[in-house]
Chains A and B, each alone.
Chain A
Amino acid sequence: MVKEMKVCITSMSDNLEASIDPHFGRCRYFVIADPDSMEFESFENAGSSGPGGAGVQAAQQMINRGVTALITGSVGPNAFSLLSAEGVEVLMAAEGSVAEAVSAYRTGSLKKLEAPNSPGKK
């Protein structure tokens, strides 16, 4: 059985035409899309304005929702350790629309993030 693909894109708004929000932990919205059917759901990032640990909270959401790949601009060390421990692939895209990011994902042209690329909060 093939595992269902769930790609999450950090976004400025709740739809596929929205721009990517480049900061994982403190992005405004998460858009979770099926890259084949382009069906999607979106929800606000409740932790975007919290005092600390936003990356941990965001990563926990990805894990709880069974996201298989994350497309974003920057990920801090705490979130990165959680995502990599859970085997969530992290791919880089800091600009353009959510739909463009999903297309780029399908063609395999997104660069994989191998290490945290934001200082985050310790």
Chain B
Amino acid sequence: MKIAVASGKGGTGKTTVAVNLALSIGKVQLIDCDVEEPDCNLFLRSDIDKYQDVILPVPRVDGNKCIQCGKCVQFCQYNALAVLSSGPMLFPQLCHGCGGCMLICPENAITEDERITGVIERSRSDARIDLWQGELFTGEPMASPVIRQLKTNIREGEGEVVIIDSPPGTACPVIASLRDVDYCILVTEPTPFGLNDLMLAVEVVRQMGIPFGVIINRNGMGYDGVEVYCNSGDIPVLMKIPDKRQIAVLYSEGIPFVMQMTEWKGHFLKMFEDVCRQILSTKEN
């Protein structure tokens, strides 16, 4: 079973929910898909080792064979190639690695090279939680290939619980993180900004056909628009995490709050059961 934790707005508490949920359940795979800033391990502090490189194919153009016809330039949807009067010029960071330029070149002037854009890491076997994380190298623009490769390492099967910490927003890296999950927990905050971005995230999960529910973090700040929206749209509110100083202090010290406020393990487990029920009822329908 794969449960993603996502949000429209950043900084609402995705990692807090993912880590505390993982620790409450115990035996899970935690997949940190926020590859531009993987931060689950700030709270778990496990030793992690490199597991594999993320390799993207990238074209190499033989300047001697290139006749500057511009067919590859016209073909490339990402404008990763250009042709000057003196020959071709390549912009590897714009390339998505589809290989189309290679197929379309009438002179067979294009071959494929490899480029390493990130790395997949894994916690050691003695860690509390089986943590996997992707890391996109600084300056690299494309997070999705790292996320896709990271997710190929998920072990599926009877009794496997997988928690996926998604990046914020509603763009490609989020879609890559949410693809094929059984459920999505959307974490939001009770502010107009939180509501606005929650509504965008709801549109995404609805379009992807993923059952979902909402966690309101820092609950009790005074704005009730999020709850009104959830109630009127028949969206289950799975949990409310109060706007409490103790939680903020623990967060600032890098301590998952269920480790000290242990009654919350029960709350997370109950929520997990609710999620499982919602998944089952969706499958039955």
A binds B: yes
A interface vs B, CB < 8 Å?
A: 47, 50-54, 56-57, 59-60, 63-64, 78, 81-82, 85-86, 121-122
Give bound CA distance, A59 to B82, whole Å.
8
Chain A nearest CB from B258 CB (Å) reads 39
Task: Let me know if B141 is at the binding interface, CB within 8 A.
Answer: yes
Chain A nearest CB from B95 CB (Å) reads 10
Find out whether the CB atom of A52 lies under 8 angstroms from the CB atom of B89. no
Give bound CA distance, A56 to B85, whole Å.
15
Most buried by B among A51, A60, A121: A60
Picked from A53, A86, A121, the residue with its CB within 8 Å of the CB of B84 is: A86
Give bound CA distance, A80 to B79, whole Å.
14
Residues in chain B near residue A81, CB distance under 8 A: 89
Residues in chain A near residue B140, CB distance under 8 A: 122
Find out whether the CB atom of B141 lies under 8 angstroms from the CB atom of A56. no
Chain B 32-52, CB-CB to A under 8 Å as 1, else 0, gives 000000000000000000000
Residues in chain B near residue A85, CB distance under 8 A: 84, 86, 89
Find out whether the CB atom of A56 lies under 8 angstroms from the CB atom of B83. no
Chain B nearest CB from A74 CB (Å) reads 18
Chain A nearest CB from B74 CB (Å) reads 9
Chain A nearest CB from B70 CB (Å) reads 8
Find out whether the CB atom of B84 lies under 8 angstroms from the CB atom of A63. yes
Chain B nearest CB from A122 CB (Å) reads 5
Chain B nearest CB from A32 CB (Å) reads 18
With an 8 Å Cβ cutoff, the count of chain B residues facing the other chain is: 18
Find out whether the CB atom of B94 lies under 8 angstroms from the CB atom of A78. yes
> When A121-B141, A122-B141 are in contact, do A86 and B85 touch as well, CB less than 8 Å?
yes
> When A121-B141, A122-B93, A122-B139 are in contact, do A56 and B84 touch as well, CB less than 8 Å?
no
Residues in chain B near residue A64, CB distance under 8 A: 70
> When A121-B141, A122-B139 are in contact, do A56 and B93 touch as well, CB less than 8 Å?
no
Residues in chain A near residue B78, CB distance under 8 A: 51-53
Give bound CA distance, A81 to B139, whole Å.
18
The DSSP consensus for interface residues of chain A is helix
Give bound CA distance, A17 to B82, whole Å.
32
Task: Let me know if B80 is at the binding interface, CB within 8 A.
Answer: yes
Chain B nearest CB from A90 CB (Å) reads 15
B interface vs A, CB < 8 Å?
A: 70, 73, 78-86, 89, 91, 93-94, 139-141
Write 24 A-B pairs (CB below 8 A) sorted by A numbering. Answer: A47-B79, A50-B79, A51-B78, A52-B79, A53-B94, A56-B79, A56-B80, A56-B82, A56-B94, A60-B82, A63-B82, A78-B91, A81-B89, A82-B82, A82-B84, A85-B84, A85-B86, A86-B85, A86-B86, A121-B94, A121-B141, A122-B93, A122-B140, A122-B141
Chain B residue nearest to A82 (CB atoms) is B82
Give bound CA distance, A53 to B139, whole Å.
16
Chain B residue nearest to A51 (CB atoms) is B78
Give bound CA distance, A56 to B82, whole Å.
7
Give bound CA distance, A85 to B63, whole Å.
15
Picked from B70, B86, B91, the residue with its CB within 8 Å of the CB of A56 is: B91
Chain A residue nearest to B78 (CB atoms) is A53
Give bound CA distance, A51 to B83, whole Å.
20
Find out whether the CB atom of A52 lies under 8 angstroms from the CB atom of B94. yes
Chain B residue nearest to A53 (CB atoms) is B79
Chain B nearest CB from A54 CB (Å) reads 7
Give bound CA distance, A64 to B73, whole Å.
12
Chain B nearest CB from A63 CB (Å) reads 6
Chain A nearest CB from B15 CB (Å) reads 26
> When A54-B79, A56-B80 are in contact, do A63 and B85 touch as well, CB less than 8 Å?
yes
Residues in chain B near residue A122, CB distance under 8 A: 93, 139-141
Chain B residue nearest to A50 (CB atoms) is B79
